[in-house]
Amino acid sequence: MKKLLSKLLLGGLLLCSPSLMAQKISDQLPWSVRMVESEMLRCPEAWQLDFQPTLKWDYCHGLELQAFLDVYDTYNDPRIFEYAVAYADTMIRPDGSIVAYKLEDYNIDRVNTGKYLFRIYDQTKEERYKKAIDLLRSQLDTHPRNEDGGFWHKKIYPHQMWLDGLYMGAPFYAEYAYRNSQPQDYADVIRQFLLAAKHTYDPTNGLYRHAADVSKQQKWADPVTGQSAHSWGRAMGWYTMAIVDALDFIPKHETGRDSMLYILNNIAIQLKHLQDSKTGLWYQVLDKSGEKGNYVESTCSSMFIYALFKAVRNEYIDKSFLNVALKGYQGILDNLIETDKNGVISITQGCAVAGVGGEKNYRSGTYEYYLSEPVRSNDPKAVGPFIMASLEWERLQRFGYLPK
């Protein structure tokens, strides 16, 4: 069934694939470059990423284009930078307002792409990009919060903290504070991580559940803890990436930073324990790893591998976890990467979307629910982290830590 859904959803690529027939990609290129080249062929215009038929200001564009800029910084292909800038040119108006963005929606997802704008502004110095960054930062000043200070995931999801939201808001918040000399904000950034852990931690298995409703009103929420029912792989992947990325900007002396490192180390331990022994990957529903119907999933696996590589490199976790990351990375290459006759690569078996609650099609958060969501290839939430994980792996090669 999942394979059928993948094929059906791949039909969406027809929206943005006219160049695929004409060009070839060399298998001698690094994996990060091959994936970027493949995405640019699939989607000649950057706004078409994430299977989009119309303009959208979305976290997926920011995730991928941030990774593209990392590849540009490493390999210096100006076509990659031009492709990334084109999205900013399309979406940012002269006054700094953003197409398809409404601050009053208070959707934390919309903040993530601001990280990519930092990079574009650094290179171009166009004032409209700085204005757009400031606009996104201003959302956090009035974004709804729980009584304990935790950001709501969205205005339409009152009192809810989702692990996903930490990636969407916290690294941008931390980088803005760093770049604009606002050290008073670091405490609030750290608070978001610690509150998310407090509200979602499951002491029975050491994992963090997908979300929590602090008001305990949602049908999906446990009436005692307010937690959702399961630990979804990608939610923990978002949270883990958020930690390693936000730590880039939080000073070592900042109170609470050590607690973030403690959480990160606990996650690393759980990931080593739950890593599939056969493939080296991780499952869609982590607390049901290996059970009937569950499947190894590309978005969470790519996220975990990137975060582990980076955490080892920065000495946040023990160097022994490098072996976990290496096994996982090889597992992706062996099990989830497909190459067509033109050398265009795809990453398969990615959950298209998952959440809890909602108004139109209520999402129960049950085990069966997570397995029912569509599975597709080249989901941006796998593509971006795979590129970032590949860059970490390639860095190890360049510095002689891996056999070439």
β-pair type (375-376, 160-162)? unpaired
Q: Indicate the length of the chain as a whole number.
A: 404
HEC string for the chain: CHHHHHHHHHHHHHHHCCCCCCCCCCCCCCHHHHHHHHHHHHCCCHHHHHHCCCCCCCHHHHHHHHHHHHHHHHHCCHHHHHHHHHHHHHHECCCCCECCCCHHHCEHHHHCCHHHHHHHHHHHCCHHHHHHHHHHHHHHHHCCECCCCCECCECCECCEEEHHHHHHHHHHHHHHHHHCCCHHHHHHHHHHHHHHHHHHEECCCCEECCEEECCCCCCCCCCCCCECCCCEHHHHHHHHHHHHHHCCCCCCCCCCHHHHHHHHHHHHHHHHHHCCCCCCCCECEHHHCCCCCCCECHHHHHHHHHHHHHHHHCCCCCHHHHHHHHHHHHHHHHHCEEECCCCCEEECCEECCCCCECCCCCECCCHHHHHHCCEECCCHHHHHHHHHHHHHHHHHHHCCCCCC
- Asked about 318 being catalytic, the answer comes back as no
| Active-site position among 164, 245, 287, 379 | 164
- What contacts 100, CB < 8 A, 6 or more positions away? 55, 56, 57, 91
What are the beta bridge partners of residue 162? Answer: 211
Q: Extract the tokens encoding 127.
A: 């004032």
- Distance set, CA 318 to CA 124, 309, 368 (Å): 39, 11, 36
Active-site residue list: 164
